[in-house]
Chains A and B, each alone.
Chain A
Amino acid sequence: MKVRRAWVLWLALWMFPLQAQEKVLHVAFSASETGFDPVQTSDLNTAAVEQQLFESLLTYDYLARPAKLVPRLAAALPSVSGQGRIWTFTLKKGVYFAPDPVFQGRKREVTATDVVYTLMRFMDPKNRSPYKFLLEGKIEGLDERADRARVTGHFDYDTPVAGLTVLDPWHVRVHLKTTDYDFGHAMAQPIMGIVAREVIEAYAGDTASHPVGTGPYRLGQWLRSARIELIRNPNYRSEVWHFSPGKDPENQRLVAQMEGKTLPQIDRIDIQIIEEAQSAWLSFGKGELDILGLPAQFSPLALSGDQLRPEWVRRGIHLDRIVEPAIAYYFINQQDPLLGGMTPARIALRRAIFLAMNDGEMMRVIDKGQAIRTAYPIPPGVAGADAQYQSLLNYDPELANQLLDAYGYRRDRTGYRLQPDGKPLEVQYTTGLSSQDRELDEVMKKSLDRIGLRFSSNKLKFPDIIRAERQCQVQFRLSAWIADYPDGDNFMQLWYGPHTHENNASCYQDPEWDRLYEQTLVLPDSPRRDALYHRLARRLELYGVTKVSTSALRNVLSQPWVLGYRAHPILPSVWNYLDVEERHDATP
């Protein structure tokens, strides 16, 4: 026993060297980041870091649910006129970029020109921005500028664009081509964080490792795909923690902890990339990590039902639980030679396959209970959601069997069904290489066995899956979509005909559906739009295009010494709103 204690002490001394009371937050990512040039970012982990390094014009309120737009670099919410076509933003005054050698020791203030430059960058073909779609086809004159750049090989940042007007150093006006009530959401993305032109040009070619923004933190040490360190930005303006708690008692606790503190409270954020869930979980259990998104496979250890287990409560661990603004949905390729097409027999086959998908078992065994059944394409917490929507395609293998019998899918001697014309029938499910994909394969095979359909799985690396989807070669897959911004359109566009070969992986091209969808584009979030969305959702089920299955639950655990934590459905990171106390170690 004594020997062991000595060990622990020795290790503890080495692990936690005596440091001046610096506040540090230890967190982990399960997948690696890419690089910190906002314009080139496409993944959530990178966005989480950029949320702290850069600031966009708008953001979402920390506590308000559903997510509510509030100003960040802007002094107030934009004024919108011309039926949602003219957006005027006013900037906060006295906002400075983080210090960088490029500024030669001067403090560099943010102005409207920086906003225009930041937006223009997204359309520069050289930057090949994955989030170009947020601006593409929207701003007057900007697409034409991009077209010219594609010809000349040089994007002209110097001549003003019709749609982006600098009124004075603190006012910028954006003219949109068409009505778009979602433009505010676009301006709240962390990747829309404002950058300085001289910095980008000075580090041309390596902007990803020289992020200079106005955010509460700046990049410290960075070992790619392994460790990211964020340190407090000395130039950060004075901001105070002030949010309205509403009626939620949990929020009131947060307000009691944090109200009036200057931001940010934490000096250093230490982010580690830990791919193996086991390592992350054990690490949190030992107190090496302060906040952890609970991996679903370990939820039986931490939760009973939707409550934290008593042994964790005793340790003072805190649980925060929200529904992800995301859907898991099955789709079948409408152009597939075996399953596609609009004949009643094919529609029946597709609907039978969807009927055989056992959502309950999926949630119980794969998600370990950490998901809810969502039948509507728009998940909870996103504008346009409908929790009451009734699916046409709930799990029902008996009905599926009846349907297949009725349409002439007879069984052969082995008990598997044939096509009505007697040719063999096999459903090919496309899946990845991870062990979780293997579990999904097992559920899928069991489900299809129940209705006598032969199953095969096509295992591909992730980029190959995307390629196959874009070429309309994926027959059947369980896919997922997470909200880029909390509006229903971000989900409904997944089945829009012209998006075939882009992200309409079901390759569904239906003029009737497309016509209705186009009507929704010019409507704000309203009962009229909801009515159209309901028609669209039902039509997807009637023709056996898609079945929306589940929305995952996000369980976040935080150590007792973490103050002010609340999981946010849209913001990729909220570290700037937190504080840590001196840790009173209660590890076993």
Chain B
Amino acid sequence: MSGLLFLVRRLGQALLTLLGVILLVFVLFNWVGGDPALILAGKMASAQDLANVRHQLGLDRPLWQQFLDFVGQVLRGDYGESWATHEPVSAIFRSRLGPSLTLLIPMLVLETLVAIAVALLVAALRGSWLDQGVRMVSTVAMSISLLVYIIVGQYVFAYLWGWFPVKGWGDSVLTNLRIYALLPVLLGLFVSVAPSIRLYRSFILEEIDQDFVRTARAKGLSEVRILFVHVLRNAAIPIVTNILMGLPGLLTGAFLLERFFAIPGIGREIILAVERSDFPLIKAITVYVAMATLAVNLLGDLCYRWLDPRVRLE
């Protein structure tokens, strides 16, 4: 299969998947979701007021027509305005993306660095007490719920010892990184680094057992050089893929941190939107995140193909 044909085929698949996502989200939230008119019309509303609100939101039109509108919105990239706050949805998404990324990028970078370093170390010393110890500690660390880390961490580190502010968020990225994001990032790291260490260790071990490592050893290259240059270069493909694949999920997965530390991120926004039956926002976030996922997958596939010509995708 030529590169271009492959690209076209994967793009087609991605578009189909996106259509599936749109359909699913539409059915689930328009059909079984709550009635937003009840919130918007207020506590003294009459049946006529409710009908009026529904009419203005276009909720009284046939479902297929609403669906077509939704598809149109996706195509135009304009999801209208939030029903709850009347803010353009794209503006909400844009303003929430920054804080989420401010939290997630440092978390991801730190996690990757720490995980690779530790994984290399324990892989080189496979079977030693250090390997066993790291394995034990990381297993225990990841068996405790993030909720517990947050509750205890916020109370002890921020309140009792005063090392960090309890909560908050500023305007400048630098302030946020230096002050407000510190504790959430560290707590998030605690939970996410352990599985990565174990995963990367297995990637590295897989490479260590390969022939080329033996060849390199036979050539008399130093152990450190082998590990950092040869092994790591080869293990990089699965590691990068793993990071890329996890990215979109992270965006919404940090909602606990965002809630407790009052960070205006996307995860918190989703919960809020579902509570308020704010469909435009729910739909937009889902489609955006789905697009990100699909793009990342596509990118991953292309990288794979480019880095490793042996890979043929079924």
Interface residues of A (CB under 8 A from B): 4, 7-8, 11, 14-15, 32-35, 37, 40, 42, 125-126, 128-133, 150, 206-209, 221, 223-227, 272-276, 278-280, 282-283, 285-286, 288, 461-464, 466-467, 470, 501-503, 587-588
Q: Are B87 and A466 in contact (CB under 8 A)?
A: no
Partner of B264, one of A14, A208, A227: A227
Q: Which residues of chain B are near A130, meaning CB under 8 Å? A: 40-45
Partner of B38, one of A131, A132, A276, A470: A470
Q: Are A131 and B167 in contact (CB under 8 A)?
A: no
Q: Are B165 and A286 in contact (CB under 8 A)?
A: yes
Chain B residue with the shortest CB-CB distance to A128: B53
Partner of A463, one of B35, B158, B264: B35
Q: Is B178 an interface residue, CB under 8 A from the partner? A: yes
Q: Are B159 and A286 in contact (CB under 8 A)?
A: yes
Report how far A470 CA is from B86 CA in the complex, Å. 25
Chain B residue with the shortest CB-CB distance to A469: B38
Known A128-B53, A130-B45; contact A15-B264, beta-carbon cutoff 8 A: no
Chain B residue with the shortest CB-CB distance to A17: B175
Known A224-B85, A224-B92, A466-B38; contact A282-B159, beta-carbon cutoff 8 A: yes
Report how far A52 CA is from B276 CA in the complex, Å. 25
Report how far A449 CA is from B88 CA in the complex, Å. 50
Q: Are A224 and B95 in contact (CB under 8 A)?
A: yes
Beyond A11-B165, A467-B35: 15 further Cβ-contacts under 8 Å?
A: A14-B179, A42-B40, A42-B42, A131-B44, A209-B87, A223-B95, A225-B268, A225-B269, A227-B264, A272-B168, A278-B155, A462-B39, A463-B35, A467-B34, A502-B47
Report how far A462 CA is from B34 CA in the complex, Å. 9
Tell me the number of A-to-B contacts counted with CB atoms below 8 Å: 153
- Name the distance in Å between A151's Cβ and chain B's nearest Cβ: 13
Report how far A466 CA is from B269 CA in the complex, Å. 22
Q: Is B10 an interface residue, CB under 8 A from the partner? A: no
Q: Are A206 and B86 in contact (CB under 8 A)?
A: yes
Report how far A224 CA is from B264 CA in the complex, Å. 8
Q: Are A227 and B169 in contact (CB under 8 A)?
A: yes
Q: Which residues of chain B are near A209, meaning CB under 8 Å? A: 86-87
Report how far A224 CA is from B273 CA in the complex, Å. 12
Q: Are A502 and B46 in contact (CB under 8 A)?
A: yes
Report how far A132 CA is from B41 CA in the complex, Å. 9
The 9 closest A-B pairs by CB, nearest first: A130-B42, A226-B264, A133-B44, A463-B34, A283-B166, A282-B159, A208-B86, A42-B42, A282-B166
Interface residues on B, range: 35 or more
Report how far A314 CA is from B228 CA in the complex, Å. 59
The 25 sampled A-B contact pairs (Cβ below 8 Å) are A7-B163, A33-B85, A35-B87, A37-B86, A40-B86, A42-B42, A131-B44, A208-B85, A223-B95, A226-B262, A226-B264, A272-B169, A275-B262, A278-B155, A279-B166, A279-B167, A280-B167, A283-B167, A286-B159, A461-B34, A462-B39, A463-B36, A463-B38, A463-B277, A502-B46
Q: Is B162 an interface residue, CB under 8 A from the partner? A: yes
- Name the distance in Å between B218's Cβ and chain A's nearest Cβ: 49
Q: Which residues of chain A are near B274, meaning CB under 8 Å? A: 461
Q: Is B49 an interface residue, CB under 8 A from the partner? A: yes
- Name the distance in Å between B272's Cβ and chain A's nearest Cβ: 6
Report how far A227 CA is from B171 CA in the complex, Å. 10
- Name the distance in Å between B147's Cβ and chain A's nearest Cβ: 11
Mark each residue of chain B from 175 to 210: 1 if its CB lies under 8 Å from any CB of chain A, else 0.
100110000000000000000000000000000000
Q: Is B56 an interface residue, CB under 8 A from the partner? A: yes
Mark each residue of chain B from 250 to 276: 1 if its CB lies under 8 Å from any CB of chain A, else 0.
000000000111111000110010111
Chain B residue with the shortest CB-CB distance to A280: B167
Chain A residue with the shortest CB-CB distance to B92: A224
Q: Which residues of chain A are near B148, meaning CB under 8 Å? A: none
Q: Which residues of chain B are near A283, meaning CB under 8 Å? A: 165-168
Q: Is B151 an interface residue, CB under 8 A from the partner? A: yes
Q: Which residues of chain B are near A37, meaning CB under 8 Å? A: 86
Q: Are B162 and A8 in contact (CB under 8 A)?
A: yes
Report how far A221 CA is from B36 CA in the complex, Å. 28
Q: Are B52 and A278 in contact (CB under 8 A)?
A: no
Q: Is B149 an interface residue, CB under 8 A from the partner? A: no
- Name the distance in Å between A585's Cβ and chain B's nearest Cβ: 11
Q: Are B163 and A288 in contact (CB under 8 A)?
A: no
Q: Is B138 an interface residue, CB under 8 A from the partner? A: no
- Name the distance in Å between A442's Cβ and chain B's nearest Cβ: 20
Q: Are A467 and B38 in contact (CB under 8 A)?
A: yes
Q: Are A224 and B87 in contact (CB under 8 A)?
A: yes
* Beta-carbon contacts under 8 Å, B17-43 to A: 34-36, 38-43
Partner of A275, one of B35, B56, B168, B259: B259
* Beta-carbon contacts under 8 Å, B277-296 to A: 277
Partner of B45, one of A223, A282, A502: A502
Report how far A588 CA is from B260 CA in the complex, Å. 22
Q: Which residues of chain B are near A7, meaning CB under 8 Å? A: 163
Report how far A32 CA is from B268 CA in the complex, Å. 11
Chain B residue with the shortest CB-CB distance to A223: B264
Q: Which residues of chain B are near A272, meaning CB under 8 Å? A: 167-169, 262
Q: Are B168 and A14 in contact (CB under 8 A)?
A: no
Chain B residue with the shortest CB-CB distance to A40: B86
Partner of B162, one of A125, A279, A286, A463: A286
Q: Which residues of chain A are near B53, meaning CB under 8 Å? A: 128
* Beta-carbon contacts under 8 Å, B94-143 to A: 95, 99
